[in-house]
DNA sequence: CTGAAAGCGCTTACAG
DNA sequence: CTGAAAGCGCTTACAG
């Protein structure tokens, strides 16, 4: 009858197969079954095989929550990135996954949307899962985030930038140097009134801007009037708009350093719509070297950043810390490459 | 001494604050403390406040693993997407997160890389976390994946396509109809020898191709010679290459239906490099309407797909299933929009 | 190489 | 509205 179904005890429902079920099936204790998974070399081959067969037959699926609770190792790595729509961070994620997959880690991904508040919230939430390690983007975490992480005593590695404080672990590149290098290239190419277009205004953009300024000041060509900084997220549309704004306030510009490739695409499209020849009348360069940059017309001069490797190396470094291995270096500088192409 | 430190018991080390600690601090039982979190309306306001204060003071962080184990609800949703580098899926992810964040779910993201094998592996791994629900991309899961999911009896929703089998839940759009519509548009525009450029060859691409064929056959304009299908992942570079191949085998083509925007960008760049005017000599259209498509020169004619909403609605549907609510519809068709722009 | 006992930190299902 | 008991499914730390 339907009614009696309603009163059924939880124990009557179909229950997942547990390690105890497997052990019973084979006629061993649960810890032998447990060991057959975690430390197979400690179990007689014959038994090991029987246990494996039983697991297969009974459709055993380990329960991560139980394992985490008992062992106090969650096998979870928490990763916080500022954006999903920026290809830079999905590349980083790919490297990270690849570095960590075979070790049985589960990657918990949080999107901070470039917000300190969101980051705090996410750290709090991720901490509930007792991650074995945490990977952060950038170095500009709020005090509260630092505190929470310090209190939890969980190994932490930061990505993209190079930490300068002792005790901090990080993998990335010097955003300042890259900005400087690209600007220096433009100067050497003969550009004299070089503008800067930056959006989002996150730490990396600001450091690239500093590199830009340093190079121009050194060459005696710096003018603050040629800097367009906008807090909105970087998009192609915004790049088009900001190039317009740059030309409105500084019509004599002969080049624009766009703080990422998306903005640069927009800037180039804007030039094309206005009949401004790139690079003849206006040099345009970007930052990051997204796949498209080599193919567009004109191809984009930009800085290639080792995003996949940043993710991979950050995860490798974190694994060492988790396992109590003292890493060779606490800061890994992966560098960058100037890609001189047609647009500047 | 260093030696005595080495022998310290696990219990001596700094231990995380538990619910019992909080309860003791306030002088109540652990379940009252537990209830203060999960069902605050069942706890006297005064007590509730004391407990909240104690949690704050002691820096209490709930242990998800313990909660999951005790309650047999993990508050985890498993999501499988085929790619991180395709903006389509990161948009879907954004919608999904937004639909699910405030409900306290943790989203476990798996990247199948368009591989059945990877998908099987990931389902197995994710099942270890006892997800309350699963979200899959597409309908072409392997038999083994279906079995695992069926055996686990976990609610499942699929994204992007429209399931036709009864009992399946899904949110998406008709890829066939969209392919048909776009091709019909090209015919109406006066194009007569329309090629097709497809990569990756996943289910969605193949369905768009079918729509393309149906429209052309109906109009008596179909020629298999004008179909270029390549199994490699879609990239701008590949788009450029495939347009070259299309023109090599079918130099009379007057338009190309590219099965996504990335390929279309490459195709347009290829035309630009070869001095082929778009759309005058060659119409080019894409699929998905990525942000850039409206801004490039020429702007791209394409199909706009409601990716964010697909993620959002799929998660909403899944939440209903998890909560035992019978959803109004098991299949939600979100449709698509033809964006007629400059390139065709 | 194998096992009996205890416990990880919560929540469920009762009672009161 | 509050609590004592039991248990979720594993692993740890001993023994043997």
**Average pLDDT of the residues in B178-200:** 97
Q: Report residue A320 as tokens.
A: 């060492």
Structure tokens at B293: 């498509």
Longest dimension (CA), chain A: 89
Would you state the pLDDT for residue A7? Answer: 29
Closest residue in chain A to residue B296, using alpha carbons only: A269
CB B86 within 8 A of CB B137: no
Residues 72-91 of chain A: which lie with beta carbon within 7 Å of strand C? Answer: 72
Q: What is the pLDDT of residues B105-114, one digit of tens each?
A: 999 999 999 9
Closest CA to A101 of A90, A112, A93, A110: A93
Are the Cβ atoms of B65 and A74 closer than 8 angstroms? Answer: yes
- Closest Cα partner for B200 from B94, B288, B83, B294? B83
Cβ pair B124:A291 closer than 8 A: no
Tell me the angle at which helices A30-38 and A19-26 cross, rounded to the nearest 10 degrees: 110
Is the CB of residue B44 inside 7 Å of nucleic acid strand D? yes
Query: Mean per-residue pLDDT for B302-315?
Result: 98
User: pLDDT by residue for chain A (344 residues), tens digit each?
Assistant: 333 332 233 333 467 899 999 999 999 999 999 999 988 888 898 889 999 999 999 999 999 999 999 999 999 999 999 998 899 999 999 999 999 988 999 999 999 999 999 999 999 999 999 999 999 999 999 999 999 999 999 999 999 999 999 999 999 999 999 999 999 999 999 999 999 999 999 999 999 999 999 999 999 999 999 999 999 999 999 999 999 999 999 999 999 999 999 999 999 999 999 999 999 999 999 999 999 999 999 999 999 999 999 999 999 999 999 999 999 999 999 999 999 999 99
pLDDT digits (tens, 9 = 90+) for B113-149: 999 999 999 999 999 999 999 999 999 999 999 999 9
A323, B163, B305 from A328: Cα distances, Å: 14, 53, 48
Nearest Cα of chain B lies from the Cα of A17 at a distance, in angstroms, of 11
Instruction: Give residue B326's pLDDT.
Output: 92
Provide DSSP, A265-291: HHHHHHHHHHT--TTTT-EEE-SB--G
Q: How far is the CA of A32 from the C1' of C3 (A)?
A: 8
Chain B residues within 8 A of A269 when measuring between CB atoms: 295-297
A10 touches strand C (CB under 7 A): yes
Block residue for tokens 């083994």 = B144
What pLDDT shows up at residue B13?
Answer: 46
Residue B235 neighbours by CB under 8 Å, 6+ apart:
A291, B199, B262, B263, B266
State which residues between 62 and 91 of chain A bring their CB within 7 Å of strand D.
62-63, 66-67, 69-71, 73
Q: Is the pLDDT of residue B9 over 50?
A: no
Write phi, then psi, for A242 (nearest 5 degrees).
Answer: -70, -35
Chain A closest-CA separation from residue B91 CA (Å):
7
What's the rounded Cα separation, in Å, for the pair A61 and B74? 15
B94 close to A (CB below 8 A): yes
Q: Does B292 touch chain A (CB under 8 A)?
A: yes
Find residue A78's DSSP bridge partners.
A108, A134
Q: A31 CA, C12 C1': separation in Å?
A: 27
**Shortest Cα distance, chain A CAs vs residue B223, angstroms:** 29
Which whole-number Å values give the CA distances from A289 to A18, A208, A264, A296, in the listed order?
50, 15, 11, 12
pLDDT of residue A57: 92
- Residue A108's closest chain B neighbor by CA? B108
CB contact under 8 A, A128 and B236: no
Instruction: Give the pLDDT confidence of B260-297 residue by residue, as tens digits.
Output: 999 999 999 999 999 999 999 999 999 999 999 999 99
Q: Which residues in chain A have their CB less than 8 angstroms from residue B266's CB?
A: 295
- Of the candidates A247, A250, A265, which has an alpha carbon nearest to the alpha carbon of residue A301? A265
Contact list in B for residue A66 (CB cut-off 8 A) is: 65, 69
Residue of least CA–C1' distance to D6: B70
- Check whether residue A42 has its CB closer than 7 Å to nucleic acid strand D: no
> How confident is the prediction for chain B on average, in pLDDT?
93
| Mean pLDDT, residues B174-178 taken together | 97
* Distance from C-alpha of B130 to C-alpha of B132, rounded to nearest angstrom: 6
For residue range A168-191, list pLDDT tens digits in order: 999 999 999 999 999 999 999 999
Residue B37 burial by Cβ neighbours in a 10 Å radius (0-12, 13-18, 19+):
middle
Measured in angstroms, the CA of A275 and the nearest CA of chain B are apart by: 11
Q: Distance (Å, rounded) from C-alpha A110 to C-alpha A114? A: 11
Ordered structural domains, chain B, with CATH: 2-62 (1.10.260.40), 75-173+308-335 (3.40.50.2300), 175-304 (3.40.50.2300)
pLDDT tens track for A94-135:
999 999 988 999 999 999 999 999 999 999 999 999 999 999
Assess whether A130 (CB) lies less than 7 A from strand D. no
Taking residue A20's Cβ as centre, other Cβ atoms within 10 Å add up to: 12
In strand C, which positions have an atom below 7 A from any protein CB?
A: 1-5, 7-13
Q: Inform me whether the C-beta atom of residue A17 falls under 8 Å from chain B C-beta atoms.
A: no
Q: Between helices B236-249 and B261-274, what is the axis angle to 10°?
A: 60
Residue (of B88, B89, B129, B135) closest to B317 by Cα position = B135
Judged against a pLDDT cut of 80, whether residue B73 lies above it is answered with yes
- Nearest chain B residue to A151 by CA distance is B59
Which pLDDT belongs to residue A1?
A: 31
Q: Which residues in chain B touch residue A91, judged by CB atoms under 8 angstroms apart?
A: 85
CB contact A128 to B (< 8 Å):
yes
- Residue A223 backbone class (left: φ over 0; alpha: ψ -120 to 50; beta: rest): beta
Kind plus residue range of the DSSP H or E element containing B250: none
Which nucleotide is closest to the Cα of A44 by its C1'?
C1
The nearest alpha carbon in chain B to A147 belongs to: B59
Across the interface, whether the CB atoms of B61 and A128 are under 8 A apart is answered yes
Q: Which residues of A75-99 are buried (b: 16+ CB within 10 A; e: fewer)?
A: bbbbbbbbbbbbbbbbbbbbbbbeb
- A129·B272 Cβ contact <8 A: no
Q: From the alpha carbon of B67, which nucleotide's C1' atom is closest?
A: C10
Chain B contact for A14 (CB, 8 A cutoff): yes
Amino acid A340: pLDDT: 98
CB B286 within 8 A of CB B342: no
Could you give phi then psi for residue B138, rounded to 5 degrees?
A: 80, -175
The count of residues in chain A is 344
Judge contact between B57 and B95, C-beta under 8 A.
Answer: no
The model's pTM is 0.91
Q: For chain A, positions 253-282, list CB contacts with chain B under 8 A.
A: 262, 265-266, 269, 272-273
Q: What is the pLDDT of residue B14?
A: 61
Asked if A94 and B111 come within 8 Å (Cβ–Cβ), the reply is yes
């Amino acid at each position: 009858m339907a009614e009696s179904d309603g009163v059924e005890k939880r124990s009557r429902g179909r229950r997942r197969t547990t390690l105890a079920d497997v052990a019973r099936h084979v006629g061993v204790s649960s810890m032998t079954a447990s060991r057959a998974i975690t430390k197979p070399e400690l179990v007689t081959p014959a038994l090991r095989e029987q246990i494996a067969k039983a697991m297969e037959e009974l459709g055993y699926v380990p329960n991560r929550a139980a394992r985490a609770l008992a062992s106090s190792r969650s096998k979870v790595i928490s990763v916080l990135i500022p954006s999903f729509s920026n290809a830079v961070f999905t590349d980083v994620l790919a490297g990270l996954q690849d570095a960590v997959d075979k070790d049985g880690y589960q990657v918990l991904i949080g999107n901070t949307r470039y917000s300190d508040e969101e980051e705090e919230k996410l750290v709090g939430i991720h901490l509930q899962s007792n991650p074995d390690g945490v990977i952060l983007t950038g170095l500009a975490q709020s005090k509260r985030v630092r505190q929470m992480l310090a209190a939890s005593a969980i190994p932490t590695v930061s990505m993209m930038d190079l930490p300068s404080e002792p005790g901090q672990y990080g993998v990335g590149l010097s955003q300042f140097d890259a900005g400087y290098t690209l600007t220096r290239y433009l100067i050497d190419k003969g550009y004299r009134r070089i503008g800067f277009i930056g959006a989002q205004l996150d730490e990396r953009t600001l450091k690239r801007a500093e590199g830009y300024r340093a190079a121009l000041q050194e060459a005696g060509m710096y003018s603050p009037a040629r800097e367009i900084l906008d807090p909105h997220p970087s998009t192609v549309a915004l790049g088009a708009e900001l190039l317009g704004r740059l030309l409105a306030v500084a019509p004599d510009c002969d080049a624009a350093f766009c703080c990422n490739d998306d903005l640069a695409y927009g800037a180039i499209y804007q030039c094309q719509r206005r009949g401004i020849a790139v690079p003849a009348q206006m040099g345009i360069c970007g930052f990051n070297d997204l796949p498209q940059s080599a193919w567009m017309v004109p191809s984009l001069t930009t800085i290639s950043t080792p995003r996949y490797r940043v993710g991979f190396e950050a995860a490798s470094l974190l694994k060492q810390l988790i396992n109590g291995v003292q890493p060779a270096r606490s800061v890994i500088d992966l560098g960058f490459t100037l890609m001189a192409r047609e647009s500047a």
